[in-house]
Chains A and B, each alone.
Chain A
């Protein structure tokens, strides 16, 4: 009988510490990767939802502003609706789903010049910016000509 067979009989061998650590590490990496993927997809989905709501609320406010008279419109310059406190022009609170959004209105006097016709039109540039407090999510801009007296 060879000497080695006597010294190393065929018996089940336990895992070494290195093997166990490798297995645990691989498992940990897989779990972390799956968790990170799920978290990232949720973040992207939430971001998408915020942008949809932001676009809706920007359109809504612009649509409401365009019902105002020219002077009332100018008086709305620098209006700020902080995040979580959006209201319609008539003061109705937006529901909970809009909690992450806020809006600002700026109304700037401008004169548009059309070179081909050589005419100038004075009016205001109404700009709405919807943010979540850190980034701009939606914008809307409309030029409103000054009414002829």
Chain B
């Protein structure tokens, strides 16, 4: 009969036991939350770094595609971008508007944070005859600002543009000669955005084996 009595008398938790159980549950919960948060933060950071590096790699490949055969870097403006002499298709040893490429650093067009690198070049109407082309495809004089010249072309609707990289903060250029136009080795430093607050510096070196100083 004693056994039967014991089976019905289920003792409740004491206050101390209850508090201990609650404390252990809270501590365990906090530990799990901390670990989960830290893992999530690590993974986010890793993804952002990888994304930044992929953007930098894309920018690198596209900049190289435009600069490998280029003849000279002719102007750099930290606030606007880079102007290069891409080719001498008119064989006059001078920079014509159609031989100019501008890499603009502009605020992002889709509202995402950071800036984007946009390439712009002359694109005259296809139906033009050669004499019309020659007239419009003017030579840049030494005093001309290539950026303003491209803006003037754009105002007429005679340019084409495409984005080659986004998520950038700034761009700077250093080179191997006293004057940019005489340099056959150029370094471009990109500050690539990682997430909202951080940036990563990426250095890119470009050689211009076909380098030529415009006349």
Residues of A participating in the B interface, judged by any CB pair closer than 8 Å: 6-7, 9-12, 38, 42, 45, 48-49, 52-53, 55-56, 59-61, 63-67, 88-90, 92, 94-98
Contacts and interface: CB of A to CB of B under 8 A. Distances in A.
B68 A52 contact: no
Given A38-B39, A90-B176, A52 B54 contact: yes
A57 B189 CA distance: 13
A92 B203 CA distance: 9
B10 A60 contact: no
A52 B39 CA distance: 24
Given A10-B7, A53-B53, A92-B174, A98 B203 contact: yes
Query: How many of chain B's residues touch chain A, expressed as a range?
Result: 35 or more
Contact of A9 (B6, B39, B46, B208): B6
B207 A66 contact: yes
Given A56-B202, A90-B185, 6 more contacts: A42-B46, A67-B184, A89-B185, A95-B189, A95-B200, A97-B200
Interface string B92-117: 00000000000000000000000000
A31 to B, nearest CB: 9
Q: Report, nearest first, the 10 A-B pairs whose CB atoms are least far apart.
A: A9-B7, A60-B205, A95-B201, A67-B207, A63-B207, A64-B207, A66-B209, A67-B184, A88-B205, A90-B176
30 contacts: A11-B7, A11-B10, A38-B39, A42-B46, A45-B50, A49-B49, A49-B53, A52-B57, A56-B57, A56-B60, A59-B60, A61-B205, A63-B209, A64-B185, A64-B206, A66-B207, A66-B209, A67-B185, A67-B207, A67-B211, A88-B205, A89-B185, A89-B205, A90-B176, A90-B185, A92-B174, A94-B203, A95-B189, A97-B53, A98-B203
Interface string B50-80: 1001101100100010001000000000000
A63 B64 contact: yes
Interface string B130-173: 00000000000000000000000000000000000000000000
Nearest to A97: B200
A60 B206 contact: yes
Q: Majority SS of interface residues in chain A? A: helix
Contacts of B176: 89-90
A14 to B, nearest CB: 14
A95 B200 CA distance: 9
A63 B211 CA distance: 12
A4 to B, nearest CB: 12
Nearest to B189: A95
Nearest to B49: A49
A94 B187 CA distance: 10
A88 B187 contact: yes
B14 interface: no
Given A9-B3, A53-B53, A92-B187, A60 B204 contact: yes
B42 interface: yes
B4 interface: yes
Contacts of A97: 53, 200-202
Nearest to B191: A95
B31 to A, nearest CB: 11
